[in-house]
Amino acid sequence: MIVKDASLSDALVLMLEQFGYDVVEVDDASAFVAGPPPEPGDTVVVDMNLQNVIGPRIVRWVNSLPTPLPSPKLVAFSGQSRDEIARRLTDLEIPVLLRMPFSAARLTPWL
């Protein structure tokens, strides 16, 4: 999980752990792409509001992983306006893009 806001990250980690998920929180997006790739059964949760183009860079990196099927799931979220999302993210393959704020009920079906 790569999330910009520390309090949001803490809340997401707590919620996911309470649902029984093992959560790996990565503070730095560069460390995430430099580390070992996610396993085929993993879910990558990424904040599209990360500085510069880091969020989209992570999405492209996950989508390009040469893993066997099933590939890691990708769940992205953004607090940006619909216009900004359409402008910045239209070229990305994002299976799930949640708009903030979102509830646990909106997130958990995608994990």
pLDDT averaged over 10-residue windows placed end to end, the chain, 111 residues:
87 93 85 84 86 78 78 88 80 87 90 87
Strands (E), the chain: 43-47, 73-78, 96-99
Residues 6+ apart with CB under 8 A from 3: 9, 12, 25, 45, 46, 47
Handedness of CA 35, 108, 56, 60 (dihedral sign): positive
Q: Where are the domains of the chain?
A: 6-110
Beta bridge partners of 45: 75
Indicate the class that CATH gives domain 6-110.
Answer: alpha beta
pLDDT at 69: 65
pLDDT at 92: 84
98 C-beta neighbours (distance < 10 Å), count: 18
Please state the pTM of the whole predicted model: 0.84
pLDDT at 10: 92
Closest CA to 26 of 58, 56, 64, 66: 58
pLDDT at 23: 93
